[in-house]
Structure 1
Amino acid sequence: MAFPVAHMLVPMLCVDLYRRYLAKKRFSYWWVLLAGFIGLGPDFDIFFSVALGLGRLSVLNYHRSFSHSLFVILALVIVAVAVYLVFSSYVKNNKKSKKTLKTARYLHYSYFALYIIAFAVFTHILLDFLDGHYRLLYPLDIVFPHINIFMGSEDVAATFDGFLLILWLVLQENVWEPIIERFNRILNLK
């Protein structure tokens, strides 16, 4: 099973790499943190089961059910596309007044947040899928075969978390920047 650290670090690493190298830091670091926190989101079904007093048995029944379904991601993407279409038509059809720009900014943040949330939930589902049998299309009772990269071992999952943490720290210290610059200089010399 993937630990919570992996559920946070995988979306944070992916969004931060996208932010640094593809988007050229055109969006705030807060979006990276949002991806990390949302990466834990699907596991909150455990807390809801316990809070409702449904007991240990219900936790086993509800965990990895509705919150771990690909239908959740599909719904988020559909809503994000709808917000984007509203955003595009609103900006296109209205004059560039302050109210229009303010509304456009909120719509932009809304669809961008929905994409980040969908991506973070997808990484969570992917990590859980790599661990065991899974009903990706819940509530449909179709079980997909698993890959089981953690081999049922918490030691392997903890090692994976340690690797992700080291990768995150290296990325935050900009260790890659001089290596990339040196590689670019070598390519330019030849």
Structure 2
Amino acid sequence: MSATPQISMPSIGSPAPDFEALSTTGPLKFSDFAPGKWVVFFSHPADFTPVCTTELSGFAARQAEFAALNTELLGLSIDSIHAHIAWVNNVREKSGVYFRFPIIADIDMKVAHLYGMLQPGASETAAVRAVFFIDPSHTIRLIMYYPMSVGRNLDEMLRCLEALQFSDEHRVSLPLGWQPGGKVILPAPKTLDQLDARLADESVEKMDFYLALKRM
């Protein structure tokens, strides 16, 4: 009975693995990519495939929304640079949508292995729909995995990106389904004085002292 292949799986809070690769915008070294910005790094199974075409077209159509959140997009699949260029041009000719963000040509699968984008149960030679949210310090903050048959949700990706940035800025947690402008969860009291202040504070909505919500 053969052993199950071991998958390299970067984790939330770990440094984003560095790499060098060819992309549709030229050679790329990840540690030098998008300094001072967030990166949404995503893989797709293959060029010239229907679901992937809808997804990358969606990323391209909403690239300005990611840019407004100080975020660069970075794609990858296990295809050659020639296939990438041909696909980008084909989509532009057929639909007018232009993939301006870099797409990595990972034909040797080195980057896909580094980021756990290959899932043996799905395919040995095609990356699943992985998404890594990476902050300006190159720390992985959120990871999403989708199967090959299900396209991603860009509304949810943008919501998560804004939530991460808002949480960092205001040092709060965010409840189920949080949307910009919604109530936030305040940090729990760490001293008895803070507890008394929390209980006396009528400006916050309290289920109990440990769960207090406020609109910011």
Richer in helix (by share): 1
Q: Which has the higher contact order (CA 8 A, sep 6+)?
A: 1
Common topology (TM > 0.5):
no
Given the two structures, how large is their TM-score scaled by the length of structure 2? Answer: 0.23
Given the two structures, how large is their TM-score scaled by the length of structure 1? Answer: 0.25
